Chains A and B, each alone.
Chain A
Amino acid sequence: MFKLLVRLVGVLTGICVVSAFLLTFVREGTKGQIEYQQLKALMAPAVKVVLPPSDNDPIADRVKVTIGTGKKARKITVFPAKKGGKLFALAYTASASGHGGPVEVMVGITVDGKILGVKVVKHSETPGIGTKVTNSKEFMSQFVGKTWNSKIALSNAGGDIQAISGATESSLAVTNAVANAMKIFQVVKQKLESKLG
């Protein structure tokens, strides 16, 4: 009886160990590629909108940089755009809280800190009202040309971004998200350049 039990447990454990070993191996081998595919599906449409055509594939060349220190540290994935081997623009996402949850925007910025384009990648705004903002090309175009040190705020808060009427809350969320992105621009750029070498 005891011998049988040892054999049962032994064989099952053995098979599980071999299985775990094999899976860890495959997992490590495919990890980078899976991340690339998921990012491509999720981010490629947005990256295409906010960055001008480049020689490289910004998604394949993505770089992870760490912003902040200690408990506030977080990782940001940056998509660099190069021409002739030289970095000329970068894109990354930032978020701010909106009506139904966080609003995440992708912002494309030149190396001098000028906004090239903005696109909402994730939101849970009310369909029909909040989505008037998230889908509006005119609203997004208001950010183009702003630099990292210019004031990015709605007109009722001393800025010059015109909110979409009836959807002020969502307009504010997008504006805040863009402002958050620009706040960290200098640090992101510095870290990206040091990583690219």
Chain B
Amino acid sequence: MTSETLCAACGFCPAAGDGERTVTGVFTGDLLSWAMGRAKEGDIWFTVMGNVNTVAVAALADCACVVLCHEAVWDEVAVQRAAQQGVTLYTTDLPEFEASFLAATRLGLTPPAP
């Protein structure tokens, strides 16, 4: 499923990029030093960190898109950088857990074994 299809189904608002990348997983977290080694290629990433550095980490990790939760606002520089680097950004009023849960459900992901 592409970012565009998934995020439209979840009601997330587009902020930058074309949304053409296919989403294959979900990553949720805010500290970029943690995200750098843990967000995976094709992930839809849920965070509240609207800084331009988030865009750089998403590009490095090759995430499908980034969704800014809890009504947080993307910094202007972040939106510009995303447009330059082809990173797709969204926003949502939902908290990170709800937004992640919604996306995981739409993607048909199953819970990890306990």
Partners in one complex: no
A: residues with CB less than 8 A from B are none
B: residues with CB less than 8 A from A are none
